[in-house]
Structure 1
Amino acid sequence: MTLLQETIDLLKKLVSYHSYPTSNTTDQEDILDFTLEYCSELGFIVKKVTSTLGWVQLGVEGPLVAFPVHLDVVPPGNGWATNPFTLVEQDRTLYGRGVYDNKGPVSVMIVLLNELRKRNREDVRLRVILGAQEETGMECIQQYILLEEKPVTGFVPDAMFPIVLGEKGRLHLLLESKEEITWLDEILVGEQVNSVPDRATIRVKNKQELDRIDLTGVSSHVDEMLVYQGVSAHAAKPSVGKNAFFVLMAAIDPSIQSDKMKNLLQFSDLNGEGIGLSCPESRFGNTTVNAGIINFKENKWHVEVDIRFNNKLNQEIVLRKIQQFFSDWTVKVLNAKDVHLVENRHLADQLISLYRRYYPTDQTEPIYMGGSTYASYFDNFTAFGPRFPDTRTHAHGKNERMKLSDLEKLIQIYKDAIQIVIEEARKI
């Protein structure tokens, strides 16, 4: 069986798991258990550390090399042309939630390390770290840092080529407040803070209130309940999507908008300019703000916001600005990470050179991005692939996809990249 077919066979199994926290399943732990058992049967050393963290390893001696990956995904959203949890091949393209982010790369790395296992000649330990909370705060990888051995080198196959040398800092905030709105029963928007919500549901207390709401953009209307549609996207690039909450707000007559609703309109400025957070920088670009979850129920607001910032800002400045503009809200930090910059570029430059050998015409500069990967938690780790420049993956959106030709390229590049990392480990 070819490496490509082995990868597809494993990917088919991984895609079938609804491994996100609001799926009402145990799939985040189940997919970890499956992967550990799968690798154990192949002959790897495996360890389950927590219900959302484990690792598989080749070798028992020598320096430790690691490739952190994640098994969880964001919710599928709406409007898929295929079942998001069934791997479908159409026109030599694979469709399914996670084929790029990050179950495809997981499959590639396991298949490639299994090929090395069959040779059994390595004098380093090669470890694939498996997390299942990457999309919801990365507590799993934080636990790894506390509990497990740190690798001497490696890379994270979870971003884009040619390489990522920097990642923005990030704050995941919870804003809560009470407010009595006489005409409103509830608003429900979003499932995960790091995705632009593509669906907003509003339920009013009586049908007469619908006279002051524009029904033009309604996708569903049942009695006192209305549903408005947006466009999902990754929170690192909220301008690519359309937040369904603001679609809803545009439909509500300003005369009945509450004070708290007007507060939340501050987040419609996706660079945070209105609250003093806009701060462009040449490498990272500007601040991004994504109100990923906005719920109002029983006269209580529950709002979760994803804010990503460059090295001109820090957590304290961002938090102070939010508290200033939302002074009558309770503001809590649910998760945070600082800006990640690769200071030692020795391995990174080798990986870039490897990529250039395969794609000499692509002279894309190294990337500094808003997205977050596990690389942030390991000194001088880079995110290396899997997305090729000018390739639309639709990750975090509907119809996530990967061309078979791109998967074949990934197998070739990562096979060589693993050897580069092994050689680097031998020098340490």
Structure 2
Amino acid sequence: MELRKIIESNKDRLIEDVLKLVSFESVKGEEQEGMPQGEAVHEALKAALEMAEGYGFKTFHVDGHAGVVEYGDGEDYVAVLGHLDVVPVGDGWTKNPLGEVHGDRIYGRGTMDDKGPMVSALHGLIAIKESGIPLKHKIRLIFGTSEETGGPDIEEYLKKEKQPVAGFTPDADFPAIHAEMGILVIRLSKKLENHSLLSLEGGQAVNMVPDAAKVTYRKGDEEKTIAFEGVSAHGSTPHKGKNAISMLLSDMVRNEDFQTLKDTLSVLEYNLAKDLDGKAMGVDFKDEPSGKLVLNLGKIKLTEDTLDTYINIRYPVTVKEKEVTERIRELFEKEGFTFDVMAHDGPLYFPKDTPLIEKLMGVYTKETGDEREALAIGGGTYAKMMKNIVAFGPLLPGREDTLHQLDEYILIEDLMTCARIYANAMVELAK
């Protein structure tokens, strides 16, 4: 009860601290001396460490790549691993993207991902410090700086610091995430011959469902364009979107204007645009811990005469990468495509009876009364970057997920809930 009371007494300061960090538009910038992710990210890191110092914590940073807030004694430590960098704000916000309280919500880029949750963790640590609860291990809050861009922040941290004995990253959903699927980015390329295309493109990022795709081509003396609009969604949940590239390919296959390309287009449409689980390619793997493979047709682009198609695959945790890639390679190389794995992030899996999962689930259930089981997700988090770490919150069941969206927000009530959960989780892991 004492932790809860301390956290509640600091509610106004917690809100102020979230607004302070969100006021920095900490998008990756040009590298400068001592600022590997640019000035804006560095200023946010500096502010976070100064904030923690103001509460009496020891802090340091690892060459500007990551900042550390430390409490307690001992050789080993428990980690809460989050990040201060954010995705670009974008146009169309109706609230201040650099922080605004509106009713029971705090709006701004980073409120949910990941500044808000890390401030909740900081206030959980403040409560632990003020309560004087005895601990066996130190506790570290680690502020990364390049999670959104896949940078080297945690890799650089681990060159100088040892691994934690346990911990979590507040950068996904509640309750605990015991499985994260493997992630593949594959490029399929083919040189086109005897065609009338002037341009063909769709999609902005391979890990997003494309919301626009178009082809421009010459027909006689006329220049024509066909365009489709879809609905964007994250690449790990393509069923929530509407794929504009799939719609365009389906139209082109049936259009007499593209007869010379029909074979190539048909291969792409049949294998990539018909399903979301890889069934057409024979890679529709599934397992009990993490579920079915997920396929997203994310980007397509014609450069001179070469058509590049990019797919994003989330594969089950018990499946080997080669089982997926070799089947796709064989299928497309037979059709004259060049196959390249552009990126690979292996799966993460902790059985549900792992002590780390059981401890976090126990804390979550006690605090919320919710008895649902640990989750598996298609997304990838910092948990894959460091040993003995799993994702744990901040998104509570039933809440709107505004991750990377316009008008990103988090409920003040949920920030307080996170602070209580994270305080008790840190104690449970460090005692």
Name the TM-score, length of structure 2 as normaliser: 0.81
Deviations 1:391-414 (A, max 9, x none): 221324444332222222112211
Partner of 2:4: none
Q: Secondary structure at the match of 1:332?
A: strand
| 1:86 lines up with 2:93 in the alignment | no
**Between Structure 1 and Structure 2, whose CA radius of gyration is higher?**
2
Deviations 1:15-68 (A, max 9, x none): 455556699xx9954443123311342424221446xx3121214841222111
Structure 1 segment 99-118 matched on structure 2, within 5 A: 99-113=111-125
Q: Secondary structure at the match of 2:373?
A: coil
Residue 6 (structure 1) shift: 3.4
Q: Secondary structure at the match of 1:12?
A: helix
Distance 1:10 1:295 in 2: 43
Tell me which of 40, 47, 55 is aligned to 2:61.
47
Residue 292 (structure 1) shift: 2.5
Partner of 1:254: 255
Aligned partner letter, 1:165: H
Structure 1 segment 220-259 matched on structure 2, within 5 A: 226=227, 228-252=228-252, 254-257=255-258, 258=261, 259=263
Aligned partner letter, 1:410: C
| 1:288 lines up with 2:294 in the alignment | yes
Aligned partner letter, 1:389: P
Residue 260 (structure 1) shift: 4.3
Partner of 1:95: 107
The answer to whether the Cα contact below 8 Å between 2:96 and 2:108 also exists between their aligned partners in 1 is yes
Distance 2:27 2:257 in 1: 36
Aligned partner letter, 2:18: L
Distance 2:326 2:96 in 1: 40
Tell me which of 184, 188, 202 is aligned to 1:189.
202
The answer to whether the Cα contact below 8 Å between 1:4 and 1:407 also exists between their aligned partners in 2 is no
Tell me which of 136, 158, 165 is aligned to 1:152.
165
Distance 1:256 1:15 in 2: 51
Q: Is the alpha carbon distance of 1:98 and 1:243 closer, same or farther for their aligned partners in structure 2, counting shifts above 3 Å?
A: farther
Deviations 1:98-133 (A, max 9, x none): 332323212322344456567888764332233344
Residue 201 (structure 1) shift: 4.8
Q: Is the alpha carbon distance of 1:99 and 1:260 closer, same or farther for their aligned partners in structure 2, counting shifts above 3 Å?
A: farther
Residue 77 (structure 1) shift: 6.8
The answer to whether the Cα contact below 8 Å between 1:187 and 1:201 also exists between their aligned partners in 2 is yes
Distance 1:6 1:251 in 2: 56
Deviations 1:279-337 (A, max 9, x none): 22233110001232322232233433221111342111111122122213333333323
Q: Is the alpha carbon distance of 1:126 and 1:238 closer, same or farther for their aligned partners in structure 2, counting shifts above 3 Å?
A: same
Partner of 1:71: 84
CA RMSD across the alignment: 3.4
Tell me which of 396, 421, 427 is aligned to 2:429.
421
Tell me how many residue pairs correspond in the alignment.
405
Deviations 1:348-404 (A, max 9, x none): 2222122112222x2211112212111123344221111111222132444433222
Partner of 1:267: 272
Aligned partner letter, 1:306: N
Distance 1:85 1:137 in 2: 23
Residue 178 (structure 1) shift: 2.9
Distance 1:233 1:118 in 2: 43
Q: Is the alpha carbon distance of 1:122 and 1:15 closer, same or farther for their aligned partners in structure 2, counting shifts above 3 Å?
A: same
Distance 2:276 2:327 in 1: 15
Name stretches of at least 5 consecutive residues in structure 2 with no aligned partner. 1-7
Q: Is the alpha carbon distance of 1:372 and 1:300 closer, same or farther for their aligned partners in structure 2, counting shifts above 3 Å?
A: same
Partner of 1:321: 327
Tell me which of 144, 148, 155 is aligned to 1:131.
144
Q: Secondary structure at the match of 1:149?
A: coil
Name stretches of at least 5 consecutive residues in structure 1 with no aligned partner. 214-225, 424-428
Partner of 1:426: none
The answer to whether the Cα contact below 8 Å between 1:73 and 1:97 also exists between their aligned partners in 2 is yes
The answer to whether the Cα contact below 8 Å between 1:39 and 1:56 also exists between their aligned partners in 2 is no
